[in-house]
Every structure is written in structure tokens, then in C-alpha cells.
């Protein structure tokens, strides 16, 4: 890895991507690329694949290459499961230490992308440095999916999250969504960019010093969504249809892998959600979403309650990626 990651690193955003179709043969790097109708097409296609005849041969002969320079439980495996369920195959790495990027040569993202683009039909990349998915896209010669780049974006997580909220509620227009935790995170940035297309009310409850970039807020508020700040989750819950959470206590997102410290700090109570809070204050249809993994901000005592939307959200990661891969590569 040759670049020095910074939280404010610019995100080049596809200046080199000539594909006129937002999906077919195109890179998936930023939620900025997609209009509301593009996202709705993806969601309809996801529904069609789920309810239609088996899709098990639609991507037969296609190869997905994973290039994960950073830890993942869900994103890599959901992409790979989606490819396998569509009849394709997968190869790749989940630890850059086994590649030439992680040894004496410090092989560049561009050189590795050129290789992987010759081995498969699509590359899914996660990297601790903002902008590295764009660097892959500039060199791979095949479509590249950004599976999380530092503090940049995580568009396929956002697609999964919007699809999940839409499914619970029957649509996103009119929804009130409380968003809490570190609102600077890549997942939150992508979710906010997706929600800007919908007439929803966004109640932001950022952790201390964790408010989104003002330019991003301006961009979201310049769309159809209305944006307000709230001091605590408890303050936002009574009006909310959804609580969308990210951790407040988290590792450094600019490194590949962080070991757990001996003593993790506790999440302040203003940013925690548990059963008692929701049973006292939430409307019965409220659902909690969390991109996971969780820390103490999301209590396990919610797992067996109707408020739990996060297992559905995690499971939806496969059908949404099936639809995405099909739109990108299918016949």
C-alpha cells in the first residue's frame, strides 16, 4: 500500500468511466452515480430475482475476483455468495499480505488491478485508503465494485440498506429515519447520498465530533430529503420509522486490520439503543438497522424483538448483490 490515507482525501468519482448505462459494464464506485430511477430498477430486479424462477445459471461462466485489503465478514462473502448463486465462480484474496502488495514490492493498486482484470469479469475491492477503488477502476479493464474505501464510500451496503427499508415500509417516501453513530463513515456517506432521492426526514444524531461533512449535508438537503439534528437517539426515536446505526467506538478505518484493545471505551448512552428504550418510546413498526459489526451501541436484547431489522438487512446483502451482478454482467 503506497498512499497515505486521510479522512479528507478527495474522491475522484469516475471521471474516467465512460459507460452510459449506470449498470451494464459500469463501475460501482459511488452512490453519486445513481438517480432514484436507477436505484428503483435495482430494487425491482432484486424483487424479481427473489420471486422468479431460479437464477442459478444466469452468470454461468463469469468469474468474480475479490481484492480485500481490509477485514470483512459480510461484504466479501455476500458478493461471492451472490455470484455462486447465479452460477458464476469466484477467486481472489482476503488478505493483501499474501499478495505482492504486502511484501517487499508493495505492488501498486493499478498493477494489481491490471492483473485481476485479466483473470476475471469483475473485481470487488475493499481498501483502507479513500479513492483506491477508483484507482482500481482506472486500470482493471473490467467493472470494479467499491466494497468500502477508507472513509470514502460503501455503495453496495447502501443499496442493501435502502432496499431493506423500502421492503419493511413499502417505500421510502414519507419515512422518518434517525441516523446515529459516526456519521462520517463510508457506509453512512453512501446511505445519505442514496436517501437524498427520497422525500424522507433524516434525524441526525452524530457521536461527539462525528457529524457528516457540511458539504455532504448540503448535498443531501439539496435533494428531496429534509435534514435535522437531534441531541440523542432517545430524542429521535418517538418520531422514527427506522433507526439506522453505526458504531461510535470503532477501529481506525485507514488500516487493513485492527486488533481489539484490552479495554474498549463504552459508547455514551445518547447513542445507544436497547429494548427498554424502544419498548418505552418507539412506535411498534420501528425497525433498527445496523451495517454491522456492532459494539455496545446496539444491545443484543433487541435481537429477539420485532424491532430487529438488522438480520434481514444482512441477509438482503445477497439478493441485492445478485441483482447488481446480473445488471452489470448478465445476458
Q: Which residue, 148 or 206, has its beta carbon nearer to ligand CP? A: 148
Task: Output 128 or 138, the one with its CB closest to ligand CP.
Answer: 128
Task: Name the residue nearer to ligand CP (CB basis): 139 or 292.
Answer: 292
Site for ligand CP in 291-320 (CB under 6 A): 291-292
Largest CA distance in the chain: 57
| Least distance CB 126 / ligand CP (angstroms) | 7
Q: Report the nearest approach of ligand CP to the CB of residue 309 (Å).
A: 14
The contact pattern for ligand CP, residues 257-296, with x = CB under 6 A and - = no contact, is ----------------------------------xx----
Q: Write the CA distances from 190 to 140, 307, 309, 321, integer angstroms.
A: 23, 23, 19, 16
Q: Applying CB under 6 A, what is the total number of residues that bind ligand CP? A: 8
The residues pairing with 68 across neighbouring beta strands, listed in sequence order, are 126
Phi and psi dihedrals of 67, rounded to 5? -130, 85
Under rule CB under 6 A, which residues in 42-81 are in contact with ligand CP? 72-75
Q: Which residue number, 75 or 138, has a Cβ lying nearer to ligand CP?
A: 75
Residue pair 125/68 in contact (Cβ under 8 Å)? The answer is yes
Residue length of the chain: 331
Per CB under 6 A, which of residues 89..148 are in contact with ligand CP?
Answer: 148
Closest C-alpha to 176, from 149, 200, 159, 208: 200
Nearest-approach distance from CB 292 to ligand CP, in angstroms:
5
Cβ-based nearer residue to ligand CP, 11 or 74: 74
Q: Is 157 in the site for ligand CP (CB under 6 A)?
A: yes
Angle at 244 between CA 243 and CA 247, to 5 degrees: 120
Q: Indicate the residue among 187 and 267 with the shorter CB distance to ligand CP.
A: 187
By CB under 6 A, what part of segment 186-215 binds ligand CP?
Answer: none
Smallest distance from the beta carbon of 242 to ligand CP, in angstroms?
A: 16
What minimum distance in Å lies between the beta carbon of 290 and ligand CP?
Answer: 9
CB of 75 or CB of 146, closer to ligand CP: 75
Residues that bind ligand CP (CB under 6 A): 72-75, 148, 157, 291-292
Amino acid at each position: 500500500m503506497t498512499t497515505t490515507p486521510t479522512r479528507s482525501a478527495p474522491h475522484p468519482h469516475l471521471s474516467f468511466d465512460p459507460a452510459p448505462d449506470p449498470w451494464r459494464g459500469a463501475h460501482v464506485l459511488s452512490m453519486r452515480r445513481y438517480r432514484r430511477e436507477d436505484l428503483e430498477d435495482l430494487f425491482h430486479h432484486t424483487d424479481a430475482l427473489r420471486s422468479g424462477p431460479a437464477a442459478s445459471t444466469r452468470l454461468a461462466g463469469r468469474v468474480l475476483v475479490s481484492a480485500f485489503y481490509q477485514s470483512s465478514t459480510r461484504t466479501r462473502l455476500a458478493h461471492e455468495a451472490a455470484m455462486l448463486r447465479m452460477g458464476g465462480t469466484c477467486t481472489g484474496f482476503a488478505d493483501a499480505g499474501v499478495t505482492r502488495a504486502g511484501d517487499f514490492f508493495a505492488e501498486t493498486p493499478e498493477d494489481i488491478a491490471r492483473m485481476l482484470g485479466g483473470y476475471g469479469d469483475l473485481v470487488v475491492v475493499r481498501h483502507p485508503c479513500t479513492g483506491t477503488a477508483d484507482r482500481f477502476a482506472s486500470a482493471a479493464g473490467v467493472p470494479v465494485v467499491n466494497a468500502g474505501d477508507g472513509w470514502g464510500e460503501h455503495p453496495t451496503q447502501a443499496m442493501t440498506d435502502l432496499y431493506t427499508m423500502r421492503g419493511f415500509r413499502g417505500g421510502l417516501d414519507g419515512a422518518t429515519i434517525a441516523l446515529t453513530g459516526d456519521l462520517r463513515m463510508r457506509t453512512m456517506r453512501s446511505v445519505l447520498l442514496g436517501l437524498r432521492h427520497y422525500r424522507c426526514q433524516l434525524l441526525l444524531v452524530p457521536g461527539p465530533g462525528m457529524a457528516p461533512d457540511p458539504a455532504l449535508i448540503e448535498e443531501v438537503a439539496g435533494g428531496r430529503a429534509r435534514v435535522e439534528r437531534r441531541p440523542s437517539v432517545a430524542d429521535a426515536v418517538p418520531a422514527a420509522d427506522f433507526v439506522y446505526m453505526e458504531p461510535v467506538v470503532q477501529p481506525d478505518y485507514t488500516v487493513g486490520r485492527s486488533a481489539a484493545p484490552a479495554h474498549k471505551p463504552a459508547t455514551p448512552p445518547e447513542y445507544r439503543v436497547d429494548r427498554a428504550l424502544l419498548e418505552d418510546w418507539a412506535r411498534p413498526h420501528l425497525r433498527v438497522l445496523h451495517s454491522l459489526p456492532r459494539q455496545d451501541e446496539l444491545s443484543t436484547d433487541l435481537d429477539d424483538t420485532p424491532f430487529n431489522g438488522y438480520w434481514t438487512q444482512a441477509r438482503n446483502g445477497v439478493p441485492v448483490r445478485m441483482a447488481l451482478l446480473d445488471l452489470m454482467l448478465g445476458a
